[in-house]
Amino acid sequence: MAAQRRKMIVTVLSGSTLTFLLLSFMKGGPFLMLCIASAALMVSYVGLMMYLLGANAEREMKVAFLPHRNSAAEPSRPLNLREASAGRR
């Protein structure tokens, strides 16, 4: 569902950029500014999408390799402050 939405947004942005580019060649004036703004929005959206998808993939990869708790493992005991500070003076 999200992939379809992203594809639709990129399609609309690229279509508007192309339309404004053609109109800027025919009429000029404000359509050139609209073409530049639309192109900037498209490049920004694609860059942000690539960054977020990469960060999400990296996060999933890190979570996959985290050690899982074994139910038979011995629970750790709280550390005594005297033991922790032993040898540090």
Task: Write the CB contacts of 84 (distance below 8 Å, at least 6 apart in sequence).
Answer: none
Give the whole-angstrom CA distance, residue 30 versus residue 85. 72
Q: What pLDDT sits at residue 29?
A: 87
The full DSSP string for 5-45 is HHHHHHHHHHHHHHHHHHHHHHT-THHHHHHHHHHHHHHHH
**Could you tell me how far CA 26 lies from the centroid of its own chain?**
37
For residue 42, pLDDT beyond 90: yes
**Confidence at residue 69, expressed as pLDDT on a 0 to 100 scale:** 61
Q: At which residue do the structure tokens 């942000």 appear?
A: 48
Encoded tokens for 79: 């550390």
- Token pair, residue 56, equals 């999400």
User: Token digits for 69?
Assistant: 């708790």
Q: What tens digit of pLDDT does each residue of 1-14 get?
A: 888 998 999 999 99
Residue 54's pLDDT band (boundaries 50, 70, 90)? confident
Give the residue among 10, 4, 68 at the shortest CA–CA distance from 38. 10
